[in-house]
Copies of this chain bind each other. A is one copy, B any other.
């Protein structure tokens, strides 16, 4: 087979897979935003069948031959990167036997169902057998992937979410960050206490009508650069960013009691959405044209939410808009410091998803350390509660030994078999800070621009360095290419010090 025809076949396959992905993605959005309850059963059946059709299309034996033929040819740019990504995806999709996948699906369904049932009472004993089952199949999966990819088992699991991320690179970064945060968190909390004693937290003047909150959210989204000709904002129980690059569907949820959580959530999802909207459109059906991975994606949402939308400069520009959209009474008499006291509020807690940006990484590092041990067989599932409690005590001074619900049973990731995913969250935060440092180096007046609601230069930089690069290179390579240095938590630490000790 000629390389040209192999490329043409991959191109055609890419378009077919993209059409199924388009359908899956939009059906997922519709399910969360529009679907009446009674539509759920048939929708699940249709989604399952579409996934089977997709898998069958993506794993056909002849695809391996097309990729091999394409690999023999001198290709460049997106096409060369695309063939590498085709190989990676094909290997990842074909390295598990269908018998194994069936066994794993069963283990996951059992564990997820039991988790949903037992989490409210924190019944660890009841959950453990299913958890052991799902960890056993995750270990088996890791070994199968490791063999196919020539990686260590945990690296092979991470490789699904972030190509190129290796525990050997991440562990020292996380260790350094952990040492820093164990010291930083109490210092920053003391600093906050002193500040709040001098200037108490002002209460929000609720209620905030939902249509006004929505109008405010839309103004902010548009200002930071979201393209409403290729996307929209709706409501769902769990906020997300879905859809396709040409039609990004974001959601939020509102409460009339408070507007900052929803607004920050909207800006977080806007970061995800802008990454998708600015990928190279003509390559959307090639794996090299898609967003790089979970860490890089999370870095884009955290960039907008944490670096931009919780900065003093952003709020200098934003406060008049809040007053205009929510009414003068909403934050009557507030000064910049009052809103910052809210958006920078820090506290130790048991729940990862409720954590602020300073304590959040400690939740993630705890999970990273435990799941790595679970995959490598260095820890048994039954020993997780004790390890969890010990680490919570050490990192945050909190105990979970009598509270499984808010301890190791709080997240859906492990019951659903997604081991290797957690590091993405904190890698995203570190990358976001590192990108911001690079931008401040390249655009010295970027903060001044933000103070005037100008985000064009900021977005041009990110379009050039990150978005347009799509999946041309691995996650660590993309970061180094964009910022000139390897992953380094220093920027994130300096960001925290500036924000919370300044």
Contact = CB atoms under 8 A, between A and B. Distances in A.
Interface of A: 15-16, 18-20, 22-24, 26-27, 29-30, 33-39, 41-43, 45-47, 49-50, 53, 227-232, 234, 243-247, 249, 284
Most buried by B among A15, A19, A22, A284: A19
Given A18-B46, A49-B15, A38 B227 contact: yes
A36 B33 CA distance: 15
A255 B284 CA distance: 40
A247 B43 contact: yes
A72 to B, nearest CB: 28
A284 B42 contact: yes
Nearest to A249: B34
Contacts of A43: 22, 246-247
Given A18-B46, A26-B26, A38-B227, 16 more contacts: A19-B49, A19-B50, A20-B50, A20-B53, A22-B46, A23-B23, A29-B30, A30-B30, A34-B34, A34-B234, A36-B231, A38-B229, A39-B246, A39-B247, A42-B244, A53-B53
Q: Is the interface of A mostly helix, strand, loop or mixed?
A: helix
Contact of A35 (B35, B36, B37, B247): B247
22 contacts: A18-B49, A19-B45, A19-B50, A20-B50, A23-B23, A23-B46, A23-B50, A26-B27, A26-B30, A29-B30, A33-B34, A36-B228, A36-B230, A36-B232, A37-B229, A38-B247, A39-B230, A39-B243, A39-B246, A41-B246, A42-B244, A42-B246
A4 B229 CA distance: 52
Contacts of A30: 26, 29-30
A231 B39 CA distance: 8
Contacts of A42: 22, 244-247, 284
A40 to B, nearest CB: 9
Contacts of A23: 23-24, 27, 46, 50
B229 A36 contact: yes
A26 B33 CA distance: 13
